[in-house]
Structures are given as C-alpha cells and as structure tokens.
C-alpha cells in the first residue's frame, strides 16, 4: 500500500483531485492549521504548478481562494472604473486626487491577490507556507496603508500640513510593521506580541485623524467625510475578526463546515469592508467638490 506522500505524488501527477483528512496531513501542517476542518485537504504538492492546478476542483481552500481572487480582479477593473468616474464627473480633476484613489485600489488588489496566493500555495511545503503567510500579512499592511492614505486625503481636503504629518506617521509605523512581518529575525513566538502591537499601532494611525477631524471640522462635516462608512467598515472587520478568532461555526460543528467556515466568512467581510469604504471615499470626494473651497496658500 502506498504511503500518504507516495499517493500524493502519483495522484497529483495523474491530475486527480485526491483530498485527505486532517489526520492524514503532516505534523507541521496540523500544528499551523484549523483542526476543526476535518476533510477536504489537498495533498502536499511540492509544486507551484500543481498547487495552482487545484483552482480547477473543489477542496477546503476553494472558497478562501476565490472569495479574494474574484474581488481582486474586480478591484483591478474597478481602478479603471474609478478613474473614469473621476475624469468624467470632474474634467479638471487633479492628478493628486487620481493618485490617492489609485493607491487605495492598488492596495486592495495587492492584499486580496496575496491572500488568494497564500491559500493556493498553502499545500506546497512548510517553507512555502511560511513565506506566503508573511506575504499575506504584508498584503494586509499594504491595504491598511492604502486605506489610510486616501482617508487622510479626504478628511484634510484643504489642509496639507496635517495631511503630511499623518501620512508621515503612517509611513513610519507601516514601515516598521512591514519589517516585523518580513524579517526572519522577528518571526516566531518571541516577537508575536510585538508584531501584533505594530499592526494595532499602524491601524490606530487612522483614529487620530478622525478625532482631529471632529475637533477641526465638526460632526456635520465629518459625517460627510466618509465617517459613517468608516464605522460600517469597522463593523465588518470586527465581525470578521470575531469569526476568525473563534473559528465559529466549525469549532462548534466539526466536519460540518469543511468547504466553507470561519475563514471564508472573514474573507467575505473583509471584501465588504473594502467596498463600503470605497463608496464612502467617493461620496466624500463628491461632497468636497460640491461644498468645500480651499483658499490659495
């Protein structure tokens, strides 16, 4: 009888989608993955080509892959759509406005694409899984930064100095977080808490501009500067994180949610958050053009 690894290689070369149980997977895979997902695992491939071939059949990472792969493609096309919206609605649109929206859209595409890539190559090898996990986290940081760049831009529409100050803070914390995410020295449990704190600090860079905006511009203006959308985005993300952290529903019903579960729900809510925030920024941009007039320096 063939061993699991032998069956893996032969089945993969034959192109047959052989799916395994959690107990069949290597120890390193079991340590790093969700024990409540009992079935539907792809064999360890050792091949990028074979891992990407798994896009053609259903397994327990399919929803995780496509729930970010399809939105990544839509955001990529959406970048063109947003630019068309800006130039057609506002013929004299500033280059800085277009760049700010492009940063947000490209950041979203990068985050979603790296996530889909990670879930695709999760079954390649232990080394590849660790590399792609760091790239997945890099994508998260990039999207946080892209979101903050555009958010700060629309809040401080006529105030370049605070805009530059907050962008500088975001750049500093973002760079540190990227280093902590990618540098081999800072991997492992020893720096786990510090890595988490850097993610929180980078995300919190978005809170200070909001508070500043309420004091500087008042509630009524901030409500038109995407604040309700930002709160809706936060609600989506917090809900998603709660599913991610508790691993519900599969933790309560092992084996019942093997094809889609907490991580898939988390993915969908992340996409919802990005879409909601984009709509908010476009609404804030329309408001700024209609009601805000910046004085000449």
Model pLDDT for residues 159-170, shown as the tens digit of each residue = 999 999 999 999
Q: Is residue 297 part of a domain?
A: no
Q: pLDDT per residue over 243-279, tens digit each?
A: 998 999 999 999 999 999 999 999 999 999 999 999 9
The total of other beta-carbon atoms located within 10 Å of residue 197's CB is 13
State the pTM of this model. 0.91
Q: Is 183 marked within a binding site?
A: no
- Pick 199 or 229 by higher pLDDT: 229
Q: pLDDT per residue over 86-119, tens digit each?
A: 999 999 899 999 999 999 999 999 999 999 999 9
* Residue (of 135, 111, 132) closest to 120 by Cα position: 132
Give the pLDDT confidence score for residue 200 in this predicted structure: 74
Give the pLDDT confidence score for residue 198 in this predicted structure: 73
Q: Is the pLDDT of residue 1 over 60?
A: no
Q: Is residue 38 part of a domain?
A: no
Give the pLDDT confidence score for residue 161 in this predicted structure: 97
Q: Is residue 287 part of a domain?
A: yes
Which residues make Cβ contacts (< 8 Å) with residue 40, sequence separation at least 6? 19, 58, 59, 60, 258, 259
Q: Is residue 50 part of a domain?
A: no
Q: Is residue 67 part of a domain?
A: yes
From CA 263, how far away is CA 61, in angstroms rounded? 10
Q: Is 267 marked within a binding site?
A: yes
Q: Is residue 15 part of a domain?
A: no
Q: Is 127 marked within a binding site?
A: no
Q: How many domains does the chain have?
A: 1
CATH number at residue 162: 1.20.1070.10
Helix (H, G, I), strand (E, B) or coil at 248: coil
Q: Is residue 198 part of a domain?
A: yes
Q: pLDDT per residue over 118-141, tens digit each?
A: 999 999 999 999 999 899 999 999
- pLDDT confidence bin for 180, thresholds 50/70/90: confident
Give the pLDDT confidence score for residue 184 in this predicted structure: 80
Give the length of the chain: 297
Q: Range of 67's domain?
A: 61-291
Q: Is residue 179 part of a domain?
A: yes
Under 8 Å between Cβ of 170 and 205: yes
């Amino acid at each position: 009888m063939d061993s699991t690894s032998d069956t893996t290689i032969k089945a993969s070369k034959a192109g047959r989608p052989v799916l395994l149980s959690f107990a069949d997977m290597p120890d390193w895979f079991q340590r790093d993955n969700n024990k409540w997902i009992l079935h539907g695992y792809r064999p360890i491939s050792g091949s990028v080509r074979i891992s990407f071939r798994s896009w053609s059949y259903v397994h327990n990472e399919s929803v995780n892959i496509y729930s970010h792969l399809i939105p990544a493609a839509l955001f990529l096309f959406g970048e063109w759509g947003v630019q068309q919206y800006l130039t057609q609605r506002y013929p004299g649109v500033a280059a800085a406005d277009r760049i700010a929206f492009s940063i947000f859209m490209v950041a979203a595409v990068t985050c979603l694409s790296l996530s889909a890539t990670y879930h695709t190559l999760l079954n390649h090898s232990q080394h590849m899984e660790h590399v792609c996990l760091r790239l997945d986290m890099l994508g998260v940081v990039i999207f946080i930064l892209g979101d903050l760049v555009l958010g700060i831009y629309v809040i401080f529409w006529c105030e370049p100095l605070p805009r530059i100050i907050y962008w500088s803070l975001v750049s500093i914390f973002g760079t540190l977080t990227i280093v902590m995410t990618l540098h081999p020295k800072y991997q492992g449990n020893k720096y786990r808490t510090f890595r988490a704190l850097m993610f929180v600090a980078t995300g919190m860079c978005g809170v200070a501009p909001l508070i500043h905006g309420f004091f500087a511009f008042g509630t009524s203006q901030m409500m038109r500067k995407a604040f309700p959308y930002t709160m809706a985005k936060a609600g989506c993300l917090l809900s998603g994180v709660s599913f991610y952290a508790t691993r519900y529903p599969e933790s309560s019903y092992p084996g019942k949610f093997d094809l889609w579960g907490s991580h898939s729900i988390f993915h969908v809510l992340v996409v919802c958050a990005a879409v909601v925030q984009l709509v908010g920024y476009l609404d804030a941009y329309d408001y700024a053009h209609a009601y805000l007039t910046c004085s000449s320096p």
